């Protein structure tokens, strides 16, 4: 992987068109690496008193900032090869057009895994919520990204 470069816009961009897992959590400042744009994130995994919590513990108590009807793509249609479990996170893209602009989010899956091909209403916790939530609401829909599009969502509230 090429060394990331800082940008003025505060976005992550992956040179190879994919988003390396954990990229947004790995850097404190915005970096460029080229076609996918992801907002940098803060470490949200604290209990409010500065104590660290696991991601799966965090999503059990997180309040959704947005509710959406999610349709995960079938594996044969390019979707995930297996289920997504509580604590899974992904960039949510505003559209499928390049440059891909998106925001890191934690779908609040709950106790039942989210399966390829499944449709379900989910809450979302956006790590850059002050910027991401109004944009996603205005768009009315967004797309779940995992190195490729693995699902889409219609904003309900």
How many helices (H) and strands (E) the chain has is answered by 3, 9
Domain boundaries in the chain?
Answer: 55-155
Strands of 1-99, DSSP E: 12-14, 32-33, 36-38, 66-72, 90-93
pLDDT at 147: 92
pLDDT at 5: 38
Q: Which of these, 88, 79, 100, 76, lies nearest to 14 by C-alpha position?
A: 100
* CATH fold for the domain made of 55-155: Elongation Factor Tu (Ef-tu); domain 3 (2.40.30)
Rounded CA Rg of the chain: 15
Query: Which DSSP string corresponds to 105-142?
Result: EEEE--SSPBPTT-EEEEEEEETTHHHHHHHHHHHSEE
Q: Are strands 36-38 and 100-108 parallel, antiparallel or unpaired?
A: parallel
Please say whether the beta carbons of 68 and 142 come within 8 A: yes
Q: Is the pTM of this model over 0.85?
A: no
Q: Tell me, what DSSP letter sits at residue 42?
A: -
Q: Which residues of the chain have pLDDT under 70?
A: 1-51
pLDDT at 82: 96
pLDDT at 45: 52
pLDDT at 47: 55
pLDDT at 129: 86
């Amino acid at each position: 992987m090429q060394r990331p470069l800082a940008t003025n816009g505060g976005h992550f961009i992956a040179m190879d068109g994919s988003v390396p897992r954990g990229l947004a959590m790995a850097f404190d400042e915005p970096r460029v690496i080229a076609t996918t744009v992801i907002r940098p994130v803060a470490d949200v995994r604290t209990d409010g008193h500065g104590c660290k919590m696991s991601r799966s513990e965090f999503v059990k108590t997180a309040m959704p900032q947005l509710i959406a009807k999610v349709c995960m793509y079938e594996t044969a249609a390019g979707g995930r090869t297996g289920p997504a479990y509580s604590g899974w996170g992904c960039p949510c893209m505003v559209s499928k057009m390049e440059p891909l602009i998106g925001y890191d989010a934690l779908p609040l899956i709950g106790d039942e895994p989210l399966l390829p091909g499944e449709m379900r209403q989910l809450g979302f916790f956006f790590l850059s919520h002050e910027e991401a939530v109004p944009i996603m609401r205005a768009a009315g829909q967004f797309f779940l990204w995992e190195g490729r599009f693995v699902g889409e969502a219609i904003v309900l509230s």
